């Protein structure tokens, strides 16, 4: 049986990463784990999970439709965590800067510094600041974790 690695590119198997969160067997205990699991939810089109992990105070009536449209028209290709800021965890805030690579009609990226809030014993995605696209160095390992340099993988074009 082939090992199934998690789509969030953590290097862990799905059963030891986002799978238990998406399946409701566990709750992410850090903002980074919640970020990874939300990426996995977008990857798999798990709209219920995305809504359940959004800050209840920020939910909108049209969230389900907007998320469904995004999931239907977007192929998620990879996630790279740039940094986590845990300096305000004791105040119920956490921040994760990430880049999520995707394809719609062409390849693109979402570079965001996300804010997470801790309420009633769990972390929620609150909001995020969209940042300028990340320029990937030609000789850096590719963000897709193929083991190739970027110039020989997704940087060919």
Write the CA distances from 29 to 25, 32, 35, 37, integer angstroms. 13, 9, 11, 11
Q: For the whole model, what pTM was predicted?
A: 0.93
Is residue 61's pLDDT more than 70? yes
CATH number of this structure's domain 14-132: 3.10.450.50
**Side-by-side strand order, sheet with 122-130:** 75-85, 93-103, 107-119, 122-130
pLDDT at 4 over 90: no
Report pLDDT digits (tens) over 100-133.
999 998 889 999 999 999 999 999 999 999 999 9
**Confidence class for position 1, pLDDT limits 50, 70, 90:** low
The predicted structure's pLDDT at residue 2: 76
> CA 95, CA 87: separation in Å to the nearest integer?
9
Q: State the Cα angle at 129 between 42 and 45, rounded to 5°.
A: 5
Band the pLDDT of 88: cuts 50, 70, 90: very high
């Amino acid at each position: 049986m082939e090992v199934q690695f998690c789509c969030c590119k953590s290097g862990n198997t799905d059963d030891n990463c986002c799978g238990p969160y998406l399946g409701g067997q566990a709750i992410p205990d850090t903002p980074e784990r919640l970020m990874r699991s939300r990426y996995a939810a977008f990857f798999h089109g798990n709209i219920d999970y995305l809504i359940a992990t959004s800050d209840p105070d920020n939910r909108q009536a049209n969230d389900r439709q907007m998320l469904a449209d995004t999931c239907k028209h977007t192929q998620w290709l990879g996630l790279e965590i740039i940094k986590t800021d845990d300096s305000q965890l004791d105040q119920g805030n956490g921040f994760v800067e990430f880049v999520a690579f995707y394809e719609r009609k062409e390849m693109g990226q979402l570079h965001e510094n996300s804010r997470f809030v801790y309420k009633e014993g769990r972390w929620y995605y609150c909001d995020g600041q969209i940042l300028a696209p990340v320029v990937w160095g030609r000789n850096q390992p590719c963000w897709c974790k193929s083991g190739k340099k970027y110039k020989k993988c997704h940087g060919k074009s």
